[in-house]
Structure 1
């Protein structure tokens, strides 16, 4: 015959939890035995000393905390960082990259706006080989050669630029267009089908970086000639929290997984210690933890909110007897969690 007896009513156990938590991000303080747990939590923003001084000058400036929700919908305040613009620090200044012109020098074509045609290798011929009449004609007598003013060998061809009023496009030296400009007729034995399809016998093409302009839009100011200058403020949101458990035979790691009845919950910008709680231990711990949190945040951060909670969790100690065996275990929390102090290390299967 087996007997099972309960020691009722269950005793109460208390836990004090104090931490820097925002009001929305306050986690319920879970404990083990029926306990009362005062919890003080305050979310704060960590700054350097210089940032704190700037914020005192801008007393009207309020930093809204960033809320990051997990998959379960709970708010996570650990390690949240936000970059903000400090008010009244924004101003327009001239772009130093383009000297407020809005355009920058094209270094690919060195400001010429043209580049050697890569399909005909600067010869103007579809075959990529210079026509013999170009270097044998007495009025031309030249090969397609490289412009030595370019940044590196082979970067471009020597170019002839007709006057602007003539309406003619520039062309490279030693090309069919150069021959026609000098001799007044095309090179003998070739037609339009022999010319390069991309440069039409000129041996050069427009630079694809600047579209033949020699200058391109400034990447720093986007062509406006001015940039906006302001002071960035990096804000760190963090949570400072402390928990305290009254003496209990159930480990604190298990008490943190249980929930109970909230006896006291208070949320203010700055809290006062608990003074009239029936359990004097709770009053002393509340005063101690609040002082520790105030000392940590003084001169180093700004406290947004503080929350203090006292929670009572029921715990029942159960004595059991089955045949010649007997023992105890604990049932705690509103979830009726079970804790067995000494569980058997071996088992046998019949």
Structure 2
């Protein structure tokens, strides 16, 4: 049994410079609360509550994981071989397992789910939508309601800021809704070179298909409307920031390889801000938990609001299987709940060409 220990008033959020919108389009008054800020910059979040930490609770840990059986080890290798068209099955069927050695390890994972907000001037064709600038005070960016569809999942959402929409003429078409055809240069005709049977070349004139002979095309900026709605767009971005620490083990597997599998979950702790793990049997894991918690809370509170943190400890099963085939000593590694296999000396391989 081990617990999560409280540390009062841990990691106050650092201050950040206010950045956001560029100046409004020419001829438009600035929106109160949105002027004097840089285009597209992130807006500093509200401060973290002074003491958001609940009381720590002890957790029971059951580290009893059944060892890999010989049958499971052989089955894992069989599935691995079946996924390689050039691998023969004789070593799986005829090989004799001589040793199975466990290299089980722990993986600590910290996830910090954040929300960041940025603003910019945007525009869209006017199709009769509401124009409401300066009718009422526009809400400030962090006072606009927005909820993530799912926690700990990356998502973005665009929100039109209320009371910021104004009308303007389209600059591209000068409010006409059409522009000169770029193919026929406004003539409505196309000139094509034609070769006759006797080798003479001539020029034929035909109607421009791109503008149907009109000489003009619909303005793509305003979609033929001639007017645009200009407004402030709030982009809300939810990001799951994740860091892993895998304990050292001598199986030969790299951490990147182990990160692709799951293990038996020993601990899952979710709070607004989590406490670093303390009292776990492995001192290095306690140290890495404290380091990562400090790094996450310092780093991500600068330009984003921390919505929730989650820390987990998993027990990752890793077994090295030694076997003989045709009197040749060989080995492979079975790892994770998925019983994935890693080997660099599988003996029954061939080169084949798929037609």
Task: Report 1 or 2 for greater relative contact order, CA contacts < 8 Å, sequence distance ≥ 6.
Answer: 1
Check whether TM > 0.5. no
Look at both structures and tell me which one has the larger radius of gyration over its CA atoms: 1
Q: TM-score, normalised by structure 1?
A: 0.45
Q: TM-score, normalised by structure 2?
A: 0.44
